[in-house]
Structure 1
């Protein structure tokens, strides 16, 4: 393998994952195979067909060796160099009764199929197959268009239009694309619903797209963090894109960075029967959902990029009595703008960061994120460290067996938030810090992480975990923590008025 080819795969998803197990995107069991290892070392399938839930034994085929029609053994992950199969949706969030257009390239041209899975808790399996497309004819779509490092595939031809039936449950879905010769890629999308529910789960689609380096080919791709020069050298943030497009696939296997955080929460929450509706951040930007209809908004994963309308919508929800639950860190750090592309509204995401004239894109330099969240971004955590329990007598820690000063191993990871004493706090009736955890930063300087909870004058609760590792502790194999599971249940039960 030549140097240039190696360099391509040291970029994008891998560049953000190799030193940060909680910042990675597609988990190994999502990205490389249909199986993952659970906490006991058993192989557990990620995909499950509905026949498995009706009494069929999913291990039978494995024992007998039966695999159905002849095919190349095992799926192979498509890549961005050969583009065996890649695609993206016309919209990543739609309601039952609406349609999603999929634009897909297949090289070499051949037939392919699309399996639709819903993420959730299905007999301890991570997703359920809902339907399969007809056999479709694949074509090689034109190369991506580029302008000032912005990559777009809005000119690709329509491959398949999927009408969402009225009976589909709202949720996070994945379209699994598979070619006749066994290559596979993914397209995530959301089925939203306007029905009343206790909690609205808001997926961080802007942050997913900000990190997307498609095409990860050593020549063309660019994100808000990286781009390549003409020699195939991976450039840093100062030379990356300032605008990225939603009109393109996600790099690599087709699932975004950090997507596992949301899936961890969904599986756990559905296992315990929480009443969830689903939306994306662009729904808050566009006013497609009314967050004041819900008792709480849950932000389950890394959610770094916010527009001004998003923030105003969330602040108005809090001030009307809707609680907010932030289960990650580095939330609402960059201020962004959304603009239309030829394919529709809010398809271009712009963040000027520290380049060019005009107002800084850092929220904290104009309206610090702490004024909404209660804490704000402190920095990266190069090695996982313990989360140190504080105020153990508080109801959040009730029945967790956590004592004052207890260490929860590995729960400060990826990135961390803390309280900044010189930054104004939001208006509040009560406020408390529930963890205070030292860790060493990349310069070996001791910093600290904090977990925050405050009650707004409206009565809304606003919780911020202050660490990337909170959602994985709910349901990620090898990372679960019963104390975090119970503390999260205490919080959501109070918001949903269960107890």
Structure 2
């Protein structure tokens, strides 16, 4: 077991931290799903990593290599909640698990979207799970879906020398994070699955004067419960019934889309962020700039109507006038990008949004999956996106009052 810390490191992208002694292991039984579709591995512990107090907070990757050369991975975060860093990066582990189709074997695996209908064929909602467990590896080698958003953002932030610590979405849920200790909280990737505790934490940041930056899109979409494992370990199961009846909705309501909770969509994600998820993109489309005179676009050389090629990709956010928006804020829509929705819902508009309240606290939403990738991933790299994001961080880190 070798452990690496993700970062810039002169362009290497990671630093080797430690390699453990060889461990003898034996094959384990493949678990079956229960009535809720949950798949949990009741396997014995074969190796434990004691994290030294000298380790720097960060995004880490454990690499497991067998004698015959097979490799698999698992990511984890080392937090340092005692330190008041300028920026806290939140890594979306609840969303990672929601998409995890392990075991990817043709007939067993399930996630919160789908499961197998017959050997080798993936079905849809009727076959999906209502609960997923952290007691299982991530499918197809162990890197969660869209993990490169997190690695790209982490490498970019650390390359520019920002003062950064890291936490997981479960740390928000468990109350380990006081957002008022940080100047900026960055949600670096696709952070779709939120408990009420996670949302309460994020919503408390803005009146406390902490800026929020959502670097991707489709955030705070599904309401979840984070529940105990079968043997009582807290925070081990993600529950989301979506369209199906939720048997135990609790005080926070059923596990449906956030915009379906409260009167007149009172809990819609746009109420906090200013925009919200509005479609899946059929083919990558250009981001069309507007409000080019705004400080956000300073130094990019961009003008209104200019295109940043293929930046609107995978999923998009946009402003919905029928939904609530943040109160006592000035909102600037920094892009207006047409795209074709792959679900047959016609032509849609993507918006990159910036909201500023009366105290000068900012909430930024990039509104596209490709934004964090454009910061450091070679196939997506875009200097104008990097400059605009640096403008944002500079403004967010300026002293106020």
TM over 0.5: yes
Question: 1:344 aligns to what?
Answer: 233
Larger Rg: 1
Determine which of 45, 63, 68 is the counterpart of 1:158. 45
Alpha-carbon offset, residue 231 of structure 1: 4.3
Q: CA deviation at 1:482?
A: 0.7
1:363 matched to which residue of 2? 258
Work out whether 1:311 is the aligned partner of 2:199: yes
Q: Which residue number in structure 2 is paired with residue 392 of structure 1?
A: 292
Instruction: Tell me the distance in 2 between the aligned counterparts of 1:459 and 1:145.
Output: 52
Secondary structure of the residue that 1:189 maps to in structure 2?
Answer: strand
In the TM superposition, residue 146 of structure 1 has moved relative to its aligned partner by 2.4
Going from structure 1 to structure 2, the CA distance change for 1:214 and 1:360 (only over 3 Å counts) comes to: closer
CA distance in 1, matches of 2:163, 2:32: 42
Cα drift, residue 498 of structure 1: 7.8
Structure 2 residue 379 is matched with structure 1 residue 478: yes
Question: Residue by residue, what CA displacement relative to the aligned partner does 1:323-370 show, whole Å, maximum 9, x if unpaired?
Answer: 000011111110000101126211010000001256460101121000
Give the match for residue 242 of structure 2. Answer: 353
Match of 1:174 among 52, 58, 61: 61
Q: Say which SS state the counterpart of residue 483 (structure 1) adopts.
A: helix
**Which of structure 1's runs of 4+ aligned residues deviate more than 4 A?**
none
Q: Which residue of 2 aligns with 1:257?
A: 145
Q: Give the C-alpha shift of residue 258 in structure 1.
A: 1.0
Q: 1:175 to 1:131 in 2, by over 3 A?
A: same
Match status 1:193 vs 2:93 = no
**Residue segments in structure 1 that go unaligned for 5+ positions in a row:** 1-113
Distance in 1 between residues matched to 2:17 and 2:379, nearest whole Å: 28
Cα distance in 2 for partners of 1:426, 1:375 equals: 10
What is the deviation of 1:232? Answer: 4.3
Distance 1:429 1:231, change over 3 A: closer
Residue 373, structure 1, aligned to residue 273, structure 2 = yes
Alpha carbons 1:320, 1:458 under 8 Å: kept? no
| Alignment check: 8 A CA contact 1:319 1:457 kept | no
| TM-score, structure 1 normalization | 0.75
Contact 1:428–1:454 (CA<8 Å) still a contact in 2? no
| 2:383 is aligned with 1:494 | no
State the secondary structure of the residue aligned to 1:152.
Answer: coil
Aligned-pair CA distance for 1:290: 1.2
From the two aligned structures, give the one with the greater strand fraction.
1
1:408 match: secondary structure: strand
* Greater Cα offset, 338-347 or 361-370: 338-347
Q: Quote the residue 2:116 is aligned against.
A: 228
CA distance in 1, matches of 2:68, 2:160: 40
Number of aligned positions between the proteins: 385
With over 3 angstroms needed to count, the CA separation of the structure-2 counterparts of 1:343 and 1:253, relative to structure 1, is farther
The counterpart of 1:401, out of the listed 290, 301, 305, is 301
Cα pair 1:206 1:281 within 8 Å, conserved = yes
What is the CA RMSD across the aligned residues, in angstroms? Answer: 1.5
2:347 to 433, 439, 446: 446
For 1:245 and 1:282, how far apart are their aligned partners in 2? 13
Please list the CA deviations of residues 67-119 of structure 1 after superposition, one character each: whole Å capped at 9, or x if unmatched.
xxxxxxxxxxxxxxxxxxxxxxxxxxxxxxxxxxxxxxxxxxxxxxx110010
Correspondences of 1:238-253 after superposition (within 5 Å): 238-253=126-141
What do the CA deviations read for 1:369-418 (whole angstroms, capped 9, x no partner)?
00001000110001100001110000000111111111000110010010
TM-score by length of 2: 0.93
Contact 2:40 2:136 in 1 (8 A): yes
Asked if the contact 1:201–1:300 (Cα under 8 Å) also holds between the matched residues in 2, the reply is yes
Q: Distance in 1 between the 2:347 and 2:187 partners?
A: 28
| Cα separation, 2, equivalents of 1:360 and 1:273 | 39
